[in-house]
Structures are given as structure tokens and as C-alpha cells.
């Protein structure tokens, strides 16, 4: 069967956008599953998660990135619950938590917390700081932005391409959350939706970005990182194992990714940036997981449509993903 024939658009998004505006049908309706070890089993539909006392005791240490005492958090099964636990530990509204980095308080996109946390990783939470509104003249089709999101309704800037339109606007920085474009709220939107809106803005016109930057510690003031370097690789934890957070089903304690999986995830993440203007190691890891046992690109296309149909990946992208996974399998790095 030729690639793309008979492909179905079906599945819900990879991450629940529970903070989406009313009308984003069906989002946030599924309860998280219980925390289990080693990927064993799946939760029964319709049953609530077990009480925290019955979950394995995995305790993580955390601080606010701009400075705070050390807190202890446990009992979360997905990213949104993690933010809730951090907010509870520091007596903050959950909505104040923008994103987390692992083992550094700096806005380092190579250390961004995605879907996996090393069991010995230290979590730094970045909270909302200064708000700003910026007018941007779109002089070129490409703005030079790579977008990611926090898995809980906030999209933010992960990379700024050197020499690009945005690179010349020094008030815009890596880590800034994109709250609105031309007055249209983006709270609850996924990274690919924000990237598409930016791409569709007409060239030769001015538009307005409403941004919120993460609150900075004293030693980070005046820093303006260009974000992670292409090909620098995903941050999948430094502990002896990883806790993998999922939007659907239980969180699982897993071994560190194999060399093949790590390289394949890196290559697929690069393709996501090239085709869609986003970076998302958890999405890339899910695609590698779906594709590593498939016999041909058509089987991969069907699996992606079934699981990640809302992304509507083009056929040429799916073919390149298939090739990237195949290259990683045979060691062509």
C-alpha cells in the first residue's frame, strides 16, 4: 500500500490541555492512571487512581529556580500533577509554574524537563516573572523561533535562530511564554498550534506578542540564551533510572534509554523542528516507541494516525522519521 493511503485522523493529542479555553472538546476529561514500576499493566478505564498512600514512594527534591529552600515532592503521575505538587510545596498558585529544568537553575533548554525524570535528578521550577508586550514586524517568512510547551497548557520559546527576525529584538528571550498573538489567547494551546499561527502571520505586517518571562535569579539577569544547540541531544535524566510521565495511562519507572533509542529520539526531535518549528523530546520518544517495531513506513503512518492523529503529520515527514529510526537501529548516526 502506498504511503498515506487510507490514513485515518483520529487520536487525541499526546498531552491533555486541561487549561484550554471552553470549546476545546474533550480535553482534560481523563483521570490519570496509577504510578507503576517497569511499565507493567495499564489502568482500567473509569477507575480513579489509587490513593497516594498506595503508590510507590518516589521522592524528588526541588527548588524554585530564582532561589528558595529545598522542597520534597512525591505522588504525581503526570506533568500537570508535578506542577501542582511543586506549587503546593512552595505555597504558590499552580498557574505560576511555567516549566522545570533538571539539575540547573538556569534557563537551559538542553535540561528542560519533558516526559522523563532521572530518579536522582534535582528539579528546578521556573515561575512567572515580568510580563511584556512586543510589536514585531515580520520582514521574512521565517521568524527564527522554535516553540515547545510545558505539557500543561503553556507554550514558550525554546530556541532563537541567530540572525533571524526575532534575534534582532533583544527584549524577546528563550524561556519566554507566549500568552497571546494579536490579542488571541494561547493559554491551553500546544506548541504545534502556536508555531502554525506564527507561520501563518502575513509577511510585511506588524503583529503583537504578549509574553511572560521566567523570574530570574540575580546571576541570570541580563542573560539571553539562544537555546539548545541543534543535535545537542535530549535530556533524559542522569539517575539510575527514569520516571516516565504520560498524559494517558500510568507513569512508569523505566531503565535509561538505550543508545539506539537516545539517538533515534534526537534525530526525530530534529525533524520535528525542521518540519514543524517545535522541539518535544517526549513526542519524539513516543514516535520512536511507535516506530521501532514497524516493518515499513505505512505501518508507522497508521500507528501515528491512531495515536497522534491531531498532529496531521505529512507523508514526507513520516517517511523521514521512518528513515531516522532505521538509521539509528543500524548505527548510522
Cα(265)–Cα(283) distance, integer angstroms = 9
Is the predicted pLDDT of residue 222 greater than 80, yes or no? no
Alpha carbon separation from 103 to 47, 107, 110, 118, 125 (Å, rounded): 35, 11, 11, 10, 11
User: Residue 184 forms beta bridges with which residues?
Assistant: 181
Is the predicted pLDDT of residue 22 greater than 60, yes or no? no
- The reported pLDDT for the residue numbered 151 is 84
- The reported pLDDT for the residue numbered 212 is 96
Is the predicted pLDDT of residue 218 greater than 70, yes or no? no
- The reported pLDDT for the residue numbered 34 is 38
Mean per-residue pLDDT for 103-110?
92
Beta strands in the chain (DSSP E): 36-37, 60-64, 71-73, 97-102, 116-118, 123-137, 145-149, 155-160, 177-181, 184-185, 206-214, 241-244, 252-255
Higher pLDDT, 2 or 86: 86
- The reported pLDDT for the residue numbered 53 is 54
Find the farthest-apart pair of alpha carbons in the chain and give their distance in angstroms, rounded: 59
- The reported pLDDT for the residue numbered 310 is 82
- Is domain 59-215 classified as CATH 3.30.110.30? no
- The reported pLDDT for the residue numbered 56 is 52
pLDDT band at 50 (very low <50, low <70, confident <90, very high): low
Q: Of the candidates 258, 229, 246, 279, which has an alpha carbon nearest to the alpha carbon of residue 325? A: 258
Cα(43)–Cα(254) distance, integer angstroms = 17
Higher pLDDT, 109 or 5: 109
Higher pLDDT, 276 or 218: 276
Average pLDDT taken over every residue of the chain: 79
Higher pLDDT, 36 or 274: 274
pLDDT band at 220 (very low <50, low <70, confident <90, very high): low
| 241-244/252-255 β-pairing | antiparallel
Mean per-residue pLDDT for 113-137?
92
Q: Whats the size of the chain, residue-wise?
A: 333
Mean per-residue pLDDT for 50-57?
55
pLDDT band at 333 (very low <50, low <70, confident <90, very high): low
CB-based contacts of 191, cutoff 8 Å, min separation 6? 147, 148, 149, 155, 278, 280
| 241-244/145-149 β-pairing | unpaired
Mean per-residue pLDDT for 326-331?
87
Cα(226)–Cα(221) distance, integer angstroms = 15
The b/e string for 180-207 (b: 16+ C-beta within 10 A; e otherwise) is ebeeeebbbbbbbbbbebbeeeeeeeeb
- Lowest average pLDDT, out of 183-187, 310-314, 325-329, goes to 310-314
The b/e string for 149-160 (b: 16+ C-beta within 10 A; e otherwise) is bbbbbbbbbbbb
Is the predicted pLDDT of residue 197 greater than 50, yes or no? yes
Q: Of the candidates 285, 279, 227, which has an alpha carbon nearest to the alpha carbon of residue 254? A: 285
Is the predicted pLDDT of residue 47 greater than 80, yes or no? no
What is the CB neighbour count within 10 angstroms for residue 168? Answer: 12
- The reported pLDDT for the residue numbered 228 is 46
- Lowest average pLDDT, out of 34-38, 195-199, 257-261, goes to 34-38
Mean per-residue pLDDT for 123-129?
96
Is the predicted pLDDT of residue 63 greater than 90, yes or no? yes
**Phi, psi (degrees; rounded to nearest 5) at 37:** -100, 145
- The reported pLDDT for the residue numbered 256 is 67
Beta strands in 215-308 (DSSP E): 241-244, 252-255
Cell of 115: 516526559
- The reported pLDDT for the residue numbered 131 is 96
DSSP annotation of 138 reads -
Alpha carbon separation from 49 to 1, 136, 242 (Å, rounded): 42, 46, 21
Q: Of the candidates 324, 279, 328, 287, which has an alpha carbon nearest to the alpha carbon of residue 306? A: 287
Is the predicted pLDDT of residue 289 greater than 80, yes or no? yes
Is the predicted pLDDT of residue 3 greater than 80, yes or no? no
C-alpha count within 13 angstroms, C-beta hemisphere, residue 176? 27
Cα(145)–Cα(155) distance, integer angstroms = 12
- pTM for this one? 0.67
pLDDT band at 311 (very low <50, low <70, confident <90, very high): confident
Highest mean pLDDT among 60-64, 73-77, 222-226, 231-235: 60-64
Amino acid at each position: 500500500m502506498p504511503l498515506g493511503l487510507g490514513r485515518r485522523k483520529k487520536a487525541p493529542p499526546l498531552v491533555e490541555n486541561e487549561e484550554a479555553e471552553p470549546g476545546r472538546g474533550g480535553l482534560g476529561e481523563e483521570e490519570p492512571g496509577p504510578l507503576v514500576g517497569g511499565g507493567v499493566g495499564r489502568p482500567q478505564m473509569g477507575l480513579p487512581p489509587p490513593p497516594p498512600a498506595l503508590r510507590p514512594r518516589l521522592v524528588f527534591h526541588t527548588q524554585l529556580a530564582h532561589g528558595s529552600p529545598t522542597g520534597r515532592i512525591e505522588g504525581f503521575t503526570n506533568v500537570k500533577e508535578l506542577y501542582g505538587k511543586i506549587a503546593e510545596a512552595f505555597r504558590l498558585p499552580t498557574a505560576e509554574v511555567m516549566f522545570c529544568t533538571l539539575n540547573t537553575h538556569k534557563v537551559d533548554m538542553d535540561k528542560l524537563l519533558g516526559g522523563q525524570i532521572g530518579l536522582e535528578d534535582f528539579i528546578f521550577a521556573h515561575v512567572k516573572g515580568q510580563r511584556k508586550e512586543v510589536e514585531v514586524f515580520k520582514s521574512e517568512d521565517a521568524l527564527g523561533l522554535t516553540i515547545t510547551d510545558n505539557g500543561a497548557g503553556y507554550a514558550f520559546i525554546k530556541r532563537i535562530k541567530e540572525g533571524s527576525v526575532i534575534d534582532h529584538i533583544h527584549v524577546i528571550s528563550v524561556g519566554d511564554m507566549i500568552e497571546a498573538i494579536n490579542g488571541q489567547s494561547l493559554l491551553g494551546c500546544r506548541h504545534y498550534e502556536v508555531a502554525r499561527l506564527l507561520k501563518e502571520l502575513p509577511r510585511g505586517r506588524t503583529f503583537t506578542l504578549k509574553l511572560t518571562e521566567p523570574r530570574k535569579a540575580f546571576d541570570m539577569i541580563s542573560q539571553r540564551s539562544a537555546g539548545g544547540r541543534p543535535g545537542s541531544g535530549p535530556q533524559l535524566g542522569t539517575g539510575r533510572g527514569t520516571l516516565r510521565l504520560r498524559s494517558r495511562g500510568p507513569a512508569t519507572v523505566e531503565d535509561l534509554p538505550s543508545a539506539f533509542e537516545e539517538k533515534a529520539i534526537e534525530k526525530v526531535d530534529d525533524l520535528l523542528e525542521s518540519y514543524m518549528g517545535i522541539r518535544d523530546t517526549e513526542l519524539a520518544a513516543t514516535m520512536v516507541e511507535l516506530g521501532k517495531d514497524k516493518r515499513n513506513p505505512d505501518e508507522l503512518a497508521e500507528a501515528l494516525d491512531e495515536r497522534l492523529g491531531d498532529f496531521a503529520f505529512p507523508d514526507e515527514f513520516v517517511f523521514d522519521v521512518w528513515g531516522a529510526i532505521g538509521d539509528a537501529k543500524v548505527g548510522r548516526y
